Amino acid sequence: MRLLVLSFYYEPDLSAGSFRTTNLVRALLAAPGGTAVEVLTTLPNRYHSFRVAIPEEDRSERLLVRRFPLPEHKGGFVSQSRAFAAYAAAVLRFGRGRPYDAVFATSSRLMTAVLGARIARSRRLPLYLDIRDIFVDTIGDVLPRRTAAIAKPLFKPLEGYAISRAATVNLVSRGFADYFQTRYPSRRYTFFTNGIDPEFVVAAPPGPGAPIEPFRPVHVAYAGNMGDGQGLHAIIPQLANRMRDTATFTLIGDGGRRADLERGLAAAGCTNVTLTPPMARADLMRAYAAADVLFLHLNDYEAFAKVLPSKIFEYAALGKPVWAGVRGYAATFLREEVSNCAVFHPCDAADAERAFGRMELRTLPRPAFVERFARDAISREMAADIVDVCGQR
């Protein structure tokens, strides 16, 4: 089977979609049956402050990775739309006439799924979708009200077009199930979640660590996007100010709300927060190792009550206390699956400070969690399902 894989992000880019797809492609190549994979993606563009030299094309046995350059873009809706339009045009141009037997598309902002559906429909190929967000649900929260009122009626039919064309729809969060299964009940659904990448499995602690030294500030680290969805600008200035004598914060990343975060920190007079640009994973592992507590936060939007952040898996694997401002399914998952985790209501600095006191400030292994959610095992199962579904053509 010759499988077309559509993923806006791919290694060495820094994003949940990149890590997920890269690991899945390795599993597809290792699966029985000799599947050949063609990945059509972009040159690294997730963060403007992270640049890495990488060829536009990589070839190896049964694998072709083609990375398309994009116009310069920032975090805004219009800018991202232009970037995707350039990607879609490049995919359609490059793929014209190339022999594929099936299409796999992984999508957080819907349009990669729509692109996959268009290609699959035009060629009468089986389509396997991997849905990482409910875009139609999310835009009502993250876009300005007037823009959302225009965009939502436009994107809703596109969602239906993509989902209805798929032979299988994988949902990375079980919190998505009710939304999709009630709207598109005739589809086949799977639930292959995000997971723990191999480097984090290897880094899992073998035993408990010593409690942190008393009478020193607790070192809190966050790594990831700094956009509206994460809402760091809505929590960190107030929280850091409240905990100025008890905690220091290192925030690693970039995004559309970083400037708002910086302004908020300056206005609050915070001196216990350090902002660091995105970094390669080897450096990130060292930053995590130096931290006492790992911080996670999503903005207080109704749509985010359904998501399961991929960051949970790498944080939990390292055995550090996890301090999380999330609601809905993510909060339930953390309480049920992750020990030594303190959950607080998003954007509520007082609740976050109270939750902080519920954590045991030491590293405690989570071996059952690591075994259950190792990315390699999840990818093997998902790859086998893709080969089974798409090979039935």
pLDDT for 392 equals: 65
List the domains of the chain with CATH numbers. 2-195+375-390 (3.40.50.2000), 198-372 (3.40.50.2000)
pLDDT for 203 equals: 94
pLDDT for 150 equals: 85
Number of C-alpha atoms within 13 angstroms, CB side, residue 377?
Answer: 9
pLDDT for 49 equals: 62
Contact yes or no for 249/274 (Cβ under 8 A): yes
pLDDT for 149 equals: 87
Can you tell me which residue has the tokens 């999508």? 107
Instruction: Identify the burial level of 32 via C-beta atoms within 10 angstroms of its C-beta, where 0-12 means exposed, 13-18 middle and 19 or more buried.
Output: exposed
Q: Going from the first residue of the chain to its last (393 residues), give the mean pLDDT of each consecutive group of 10, the final group possibly shorter.
A: 97 92 97 95 80 88 96 73 94 95 96 98 97 91 83 93 98 97 97 96 93 91 95 98 97 95 97 95 94 98 95 98 98 98 98 97 97 98 97 68
pLDDT for 1 equals: 95
Burial 211-239 (b: 16+ CB within 10 A, else e): eeeeeeebebbbbbbbbbbbbbbbbbbbb
Q: What is the 3-state secondary structure (H, E, C) of 140-169?
A: HHHCCHHHHHHHHHHHHHHHHHHHHHCCEE
Whole-angstrom distance, CA of residue 214 vs CA of residue 292: 12
pLDDT for 253 equals: 95
pLDDT for 86 equals: 95
